[in-house]
Amino acid sequence: MMPTLVAKPPQGDDWMHEAKFDGYRSQIVIDDEGVSIFTRRGLDWTTKYRDLAKAAAELEVESAIIDGEIIVVNEAGLSDFAALRKAITRRQHDLYFVAFDLLHLNGHDLRDMSLEDRREILQAMIPAGGRIQFSQALPGDAKAIFELVDKAGLEGLVSKRRDSKYRSGNSTVWLKTKAYSIDEYELLGVEREAGKPAFALMAERGTGRYVGSAFITLNREMRERLWKRVQEVPGQPPKGIKRPATIWVKPGLIGRVKHLRGEEDLRHASLQDFWDES
């Protein structure tokens, strides 16, 4: 069950809200054959999550399907996707599974039950302080919750109708509201096509890895200055990137980009400013 991205969290008592974690969506399956952990796309990653599988085997259930997110927490107490990728191969003991829904339990299909009832059962079966944790609902007004989540540096908020049944696929009774970050990237070039918005193509600083494009929202004076700079020092396109409408620029141009937090590459991104460091 996948939440739909929205600009603002829904208001009202019909909705409950949870922190959106920056990790790998996964499901734990417990049956007669033991414990399996599957990715969102259905791949069996049990061997990659050995410690979590052992923790799931200690739950006092005969069978279950638990939906959640596999995360690693950094020093600030926030889920850290970059650290997660390293921990899978190097530091299994740093992995946590944050459980937020229960689809099956001891031979019973719970998907037609309300979300609140499913979560009440789920919370009761997860002991505190272990590698498998329960995703607590956040109390209060949706707007105030989102502001706190944003200030804390979390990826965003997931809002779910309390009476929702579990249905696989995209859903409008589960919604996600993502916070934005502003970061600096290397500007590779500018893509311009007649009748279309202009985009800045950006790369990760230090590595040069292409991370996507950002809509150019600069004022007219700054757009003209950027275009002049790009034309004065044209560069070569990075290997493997074919964008025929792009004029590439030599290294040294840095852009400040506003983008959705918690994404590996740029999404809903806009160029806010730029400067020359060459």
Position 247 scores a pLDDT of 85
Do 72 and 42 share a structural domain? yes
Q: Which domain holds residue 16?
A: 2-178
Position 278 scores a pLDDT of 63
Mean pLDDT of the 51-57 span: 96
Q: 103-156, pLDDT tens digit by residue?
A: 999 999 999 999 999 999 999 999 999 999 999 999 999 999 999 988 888 889
Do 193 and 71 share a structural domain? no
Q: 220-265, pLDDT tens digit by residue?
A: 888 888 888 888 877 777 777 777 788 888 888 899 999 888 777 8
CA atoms within 13 A on the CB side of 40: 10
Do 143 and 238 share a structural domain? no
pTM, two decimals, is: 0.76
Q: 65-88, pLDDT tens digit by residue?
A: 999 999 998 877 778 777 887 888
Position 193 scores a pLDDT of 81
- Measured distance CA(175)–CA(171) in Å, rounded: 8
Q: What tokens does 246 get?
A: 């792009």
Domain termination residue (choose one: 133, 158, 178): 178
Position 214 scores a pLDDT of 93
**Residue whose token pair is 């790998």:** 24
Cα separation values, 193 from 71, 247, 273, Å = 41, 11, 21
Do 12 and 87 share a structural domain? yes
Do 25 and 163 share a structural domain? yes
Do 212 and 142 share a structural domain? no
Do 173 and 96 share a structural domain? yes
Neighbours of 217 (CB within 10 A): 16
Whether 202 shows a pLDDT value over 70: the answer reads: yes
Do 233 and 112 share a structural domain? no
Q: Which of 18-27, 53-62, 143-152, 252-261 has the highest mean pLDDT?
A: 53-62
Name the burial class of residue 48, with classes exposed (0-12), middle (13-18) and buried (19+) by CB atoms within 10 angstroms of its CB: middle
Give start and end residues of each alpha helix (H) in 126-260. Answer: 142-151, 220-232
> What is the 3-state composition of the chain as percent helix, strand, coil, each rounded to the nearest 5?
20, 40, 40
Would you say 162 and 116 are in contact if contact means Cβ atoms under 8 Å apart? yes
Domain count, the chain: 2
Would you say 57 and 48 are in contact if contact means Cβ atoms under 8 Å apart? no
Do 184 and 173 share a structural domain? no
Cα separation values, 5 from 70, 84, 153, 165, Å = 20, 23, 18, 19
- Measured distance CA(258)–CA(182) in Å, rounded: 4
Neighbours of 145 (CB within 10 A): 20
Cα separation values, 4 from 30, 79, 137, Å = 28, 21, 19
User: Which residues, at least 6 apart from 174, have a Cβ–Cβ distance to it below 8 Å?
Assistant: 1, 2, 3, 4, 158, 159, 160, 161, 164
Do 192 and 152 share a structural domain? no
Q: What is the CATH number of the domain that holds 30?
A: 3.30.470.30
Domain termination residue (choose one: 140, 161, 178): 178
In this structure, the strands spanning 180-191 and 170-178 are: unpaired
Do 73 and 121 share a structural domain? yes
Do 219 and 151 share a structural domain? no
